[in-house]
Amino acid sequence: MDYCIGIDIGGTNIVIGLIGPDGKIVRGTKIPTRAADGADTILSRIDAAVRETAQAAGVDLAEIGAVGMGVPGFVDHENGISLHSVNLNWRGVPVAPIMREKLGIPTFINNDVRMYIYGEAAQGAGKGYRHVLGLTLGTGLAAALVVDGQLYHGGGNMAGELGHITLDDIPYTCKCGLKGCLETVASGPGLARQARDRIREGRDSVLKEWYPGDAIEQLTAKDLSRAYDMGDPVAVEVLQTTGRLLGKGLASAVTLFSPDVVIVGGGVSAAGERLMAPIREALQAHLIPAYWEHIRVVTAVLGDDAGVIGSGLYAKQRAGLQA
């Protein structure tokens, strides 16, 4: 019962990991999601992949105490239901009950961002801290809070929407309808958009050479890091501006939650110090010194494993097993 299974369901791939008693992945596998096949087929495929993974590791299903699944979108974590996932085209799918039936193992689900941050809090950059504020910079900007090893969900299960804190100095209107949401700049598409806007304004940039004319639409946040390292003024400005805005938004979160550590994760966090330095600079400028002296601001360390590890350990906790 010391083992658990963590499953991170993405729009493209599903990553499955068998996690040992030490909280580390013993054996993993990745299968394509193929969302169009529908929930029944996908969950059957996961069932098969979990069994194969356990068998390949020489671990009996009876030794696995819990199965955890990170599901994108809105989730009823108490009853294990995927309420609505746009990416997967799921609506009201009782994921946990179905998987529990298939595998005969207690199964728990939660939102994929929360599972990712839970993983970083338990085994990654947040290990050893009581109050962890984690955020994921990716196609959007999301956040989660873990206090004493427990995820904080908030009223209506809606806590942590850091991406929809608004700042006056952000000029963009968000998909949500508000003006100035942090996510409109602090996200992969937000970074690309800012660079594109500057190039359209006639600013000189190596990005223009890489993506001439309409090709500029294909610019990604990754390109910005590459251009930044060449000293490209647009890339430098966009990454620094974005970091400072994110730091300013985070200052509110830190002042209210008083986390011990702030973890910056998600794909875009690969920009590393290019983004972290201005984040820290703005945080310090907008925080009472006592907070600044108290917190650590770090990048996530588990990479893609965070969601898998978080899902597994979360399930273990929910099952009442020592995580």
Given the complex with a copy of itself, which of 33 and 241 has the nearer CB atom? 241
Given the complex with a copy of itself, which of 107 and 242 has the nearer CB atom? 242
Order of strands, sheet of 141-147, starting from the edge strand that comes earlier in the sequence: 150-152, 141-147, 131-137, 261-265, 296-299
| Interface with a copy of itself, residue 255, by CB under 8 A | yes
Instruction: Tell me, by CB under 8 A, how many residues bind a copy of itself.
Output: 43
Given the complex with a copy of itself, which of 65 and 180 has the nearer CB atom? 180
Full DSSP string of 117-182: HHHHHHHSTTTT-SEEEEEEESSSEEEEEEETTEEE--GGG-TT-GGG-B-TT--PBPTTS-BSBG
Name which position in 108, 116, 257, 314 contacts a copy of itself (CB under 8 A).
Answer: 257
| Interface with a copy of itself, residue 130, by CB under 8 A | yes
Element (H, E) at 129: none
| Interface with a copy of itself, residue 101, by CB under 8 A | no
Separation CA 63–CA 253 (nearest Å)? 41
| Interface with a copy of itself, residue 22, by CB under 8 A | no
Determine the residue type at 190.
G
| Interface with a copy of itself, residue 304, by CB under 8 A | no
Q: What angle do CA 139, 144, 148 make, to 5 degrees?
A: 155
Given the complex with a copy of itself, which of 165 and 224 has the nearer CB atom? 165
Tell me how far, at minimum, the Cβ of 29 lies from a copy of itself, in Å: 35
Tell me how far, at minimum, the Cβ of 159 lies from a copy of itself, in Å: 4
| Interface with a copy of itself, residue 128, by CB under 8 A | no
Give 44's contacts (C-beta < 8 A, 6+ positions apart). 102
Full DSSP string of 277-322: HHHHHHHHHHS-HHHHHH-EEEE-SSTTHHHHHHHHHHHHHHTTS-
Do the Cβ atoms of 70 and 110 come closer than 8 Å? yes
Q: Which two tokens stand for residue 115?
A: 């599972």
| Interface with a copy of itself, residue 41, by CB under 8 A | no
Residue the block writes with tokens 């899902």: 311
Q: Which two tokens stand for residue 25?
A: 């992945």
Tell me how far, at minimum, the Cβ of 20 lies from a copy of itself, in Å: 30
| Interface with a copy of itself, residue 86, by CB under 8 A | no
Give 229's contacts (C-beta < 8 A, 6+ positions apart). none
Tell me how far, at minimum, the Cβ of 283 lies from a copy of itself, in Å: 12
Given the complex with a copy of itself, which of 24 and 130 has the nearer CB atom? 130
Residue the block writes with tokens 């096949």: 37
Name which position in 177, 212, 213, 231 contacts a copy of itself (CB under 8 A).
Answer: 177
Name which position in 5, 105, 227, 295 contacts a copy of itself (CB under 8 A).
Answer: 295
Q: Which stretch binds a copy of itself (CB under 8 A): 40-48, 95-103, 112-120, 153-161?
A: 153-161
Query: Interface with a copy of itself by CB under 8 A: which residues?
Result: 129-131, 143, 147, 152-162, 164-169, 176-178, 249, 251-253, 255-260, 286-291, 294-295
